[in-house]
Amino acid sequence: MMEGDSTSGVTEQGVPPWMVTFADLMALMMTFFVLLYSYSKVDEEKYRAMVGSMASAFGGIQDSPSNSEDAIQGLEAGVVSKDGAETKPIFDEQATRSASIDDASNQEKLYRKLKSGLVEELKAARVIVEREGDSVIIRFPEKVSFRSGSDSLTPDAIPLIHRVAGMVRDGDYTVTVAGHTDDLPITTERFRSNWELSAARAVSVAHQVLDTQQIPPEALQVSGFADARPLVANDSAENRARNRRVEIIIEYQSTGPDDKQSPAPKNDATATATSPTKAAP
């Protein structure tokens, strides 16, 4: 027998195979629980830094809340000033969301009401109804509402404006009556420019809206844009006719129930008047 064969029957001693698997499992479980513990432990310095930042941003939350639960409750309930007085709540997301849903619902209701109540006028293109963002726009082309170069409404336009105003009732909104012209200059004894013509036409429509007593005067404003906001390019007679128009714009407010304010005026060059009153004849 060869020398190498004398050791062939000896079994090498060592750790049982199952022990290796068990040790790996224990190591993984320890790592897992350490990770969970690290997530559950509150870093007090980071917490205080966060509270200080919130205090600076929202007017002064108490510097040393008793614990994290109290601080969270304080943020949900409102801001606590340094003298201990509780002020108006910061977060009212549910109320804001509810108000936005109500505004969208009112906008949709008005749009459908106008579409169903002005079927014949829409088919005849005497009026155009559109939605844009938070607004419903009722557009009156010049050909059915005014004579050329005049701010006097045609007899057929007045009852149409009354019908439209009668459909606008419910909701928190502002109503803007906006006059528009084409780019052809005008100079007459009454109107020095398209600015005056567009504003005068808007005022004429606004008077008819107020006559219905359906829209409160404080919700109404009047703007004249001349040719500053064309629908299409003023490069043909047909396009210029489309741009000569007066619009009634109903804009619903996207604010919460405690913050219902009119939107800030846009930075546009406009001839504007608010809540027109009738001039003496």
* Inter-residue contact 166 to 214 (CB < 8 Å): yes
- Contact status, residue 113 vs residue 214, Cβ threshold 8 Å: no
Distance CA 177, CA 203 (A): 8
pLDDT at site 259: 44
Q: List the structure tokens of 95.
A: 């109320």
Helices (H), the chain: 17-40, 44-58, 68-77, 93-117, 119-123, 142-145, 157-167, 194-211, 237-243
Q: What angle do CA 71, 62, 93 make, to 5 degrees?
A: 50
Overall size of the chain counted in residues: 281
Q: Which two tokens stand for residue 13?
A: 């001693």
Q: Which residues lie below 8 Å from residue 77, measured CB to CB, with a gap of 6+?
A: 86, 89
Are 209 and 216 within 8 A, CB to CB? no
CA proximity to 143, closest of 222, 237, 40? 237
Q: What phi and psi values does residue 251 have, to the nearest 5 degrees?
A: -115, 115
Average pLDDT per consecutive 10 residues, the chain (281 residues; last block may be shorter): 49 74 89 79 68 68 50 50 52 54 74 91 93 90 92 94 84 88 92 95 95 88 95 95 95 56 42 48 37
**Cβ contact 122:115 at 8 Å:** yes
What is the rounded distance in angstroms from the CA atom of residue 149 to the CA atom of residue 142?
Answer: 10
Contact by Cβ (8 Å): 115, 131: no
Give the model's pLDDT for residue 107.
82
Three-state DSSP state, 128: strand
Q: Which residue has the tokens 């040393």?
A: 64
Residue 191: per-residue pLDDT: 94
Cβ 82 vs Cβ 58: under 8 Å: no
User: Can you tell me the distance from the alpha carbon of 89 to that of 81, in angstroms, rounded to the nearest whole number?
Assistant: 12
How far is it, in rounded angstroms, from Cα 225 to Cα 236? 20
Closest CA to 141 of 159, 125, 156: 125
Amino acid present at 161:
I
The pLDDT of residue 266: 43
pLDDT at 102: 59
**In the prediction, which pLDDT does 167 show?**
87
Q: Could you tell me which of 124, 116, 126, 183 has the C-alpha nearest to residue 158?
A: 126
Q: Of 75, 71, 73, 100, which Cα lies nearest the Cα of 90?
A: 75
